[in-house]
Amino acid sequence: MLPFLPLFILFCFTTLWGTVHAAEIAILKSADLTYYDHAIVGFKAGLPPMMKVNEYNLDSQLTRGREIGESLRASPPDLVLAVGLKAAIAAKLELFDTPVVFCMVLNPEAYSLPTSNMTGIAVRAPPVTQLAALRSLMPNRHRIGVLYDEEQTGAFVREAINVASHQGFELVSVAVRGQEDIPRAVSRLLPKIDVLWLIQDQVVVSESAIPFFLESSLNAKVPIFTFSSTLVQQGAVGALVLDPWTVGQQAARLSLARLRDPGTSAGIIEAPDRSQWALNVKSAESFGMTLSPELIRLAGQVFSGEGPRTHKLDPSDQIP
């Protein structure tokens, strides 16, 4: 029997891989956003060409998402990709056994995501990655200030404080409960810090607060490091941002792994594989900083803005 063992293993592998190639995937999209569409394009590009993919758009309506989820439960696909918060919630509420991969969801833990059959890709890079990027951009600035809401990003900030201490930073954190707390918190924080780190926190960063942050930063000569290319275009010096196409590629790899073994990574959130730089050369100059040619070459987006300007926050920055 032993001579036939390699053939048996090859047969099993070929059968399993053929099953993966022939699998059916349903994509739930929360809304028509370019950011979501780019992630879906990256996802499809990472799949085998013969795989069947059906797309459903919730049009920002959770009720519609639940209706779609109910119909999928009646005739389940092999896997569901949920893009955006409402799509992920609909999948959570309606799909209990089908493997689900979600992405583009800010603060999924606040919505009890993931569940036992769901796997997610985090929107934000972990503190260790972001602080390492900040150090490479601003190596001579050691006191970092951050505003946060406890419910939104308390755990993230506590992890960042621990990481900062190991990387030789001092992280000065100030908690706020609402937008009305921000002016006083910023006025207390800026004299104590070398860099203002704006993180993905929906209580802190809003369209109305952005001009205040940018103008206060410029007046105090304290540069901003952030998460949003929109904020960099408006006057922040730099950001570490996610490329949605790359997130889609990661979601494809994770989905293929789950199709081969539905238990793979179930119930956990993966860190994003890769982020890219967004830099504002003009803003750096206004803060007396010179960005290295190598850093500029590596950046995915380079701006030459004139400093703080009021622009509408791009929907992708807060990811509904």
CB atoms within 10 A of CB 268: 10
Instruction: Kindly report the backbone phi and psi dihedral angles of residue 90, in degrees, each rounded to the nearest multiple of 5, phi listed first.
Output: -60, -45
* Dist. CA 48–CA 44, nearest whole Å: 8
Global pTM? 0.82
Domains of the chain in sequence order: 2-123+244-270 (3.40.50.2300), 127-242+275-318 (3.40.50.2300)
Those residues whose C-beta lies under 8 Å from the C-beta of residue 230, and which sit 6 or more positions away, are: 311, 313, 314, 317
Q: What is the pLDDT along the chain (320 residues), one digit of tens a residue?
A: 445 444 443 444 344 444 566 899 999 999 999 999 999 999 999 999 989 999 999 999 999 999 999 999 999 999 999 999 999 999 999 999 999 999 999 889 889 999 999 999 999 899 999 999 999 999 999 999 999 999 999 999 999 999 999 988 899 999 999 999 999 999 999 999 999 999 999 999 998 999 999 999 999 999 999 999 999 999 999 999 989 999 999 999 999 999 999 888 889 999 999 889 999 999 999 999 999 899 999 898 999 865 444 344 454 455 54
Those residues whose C-beta lies under 8 Å from the C-beta of residue 55, and which sit 6 or more positions away, are: 26, 27, 29, 40
* Dist. CA 286–CA 218, nearest whole Å: 8
The answer to whether residues 248 and 43 touch, using CB atoms and an 8 Å cutoff, is yes
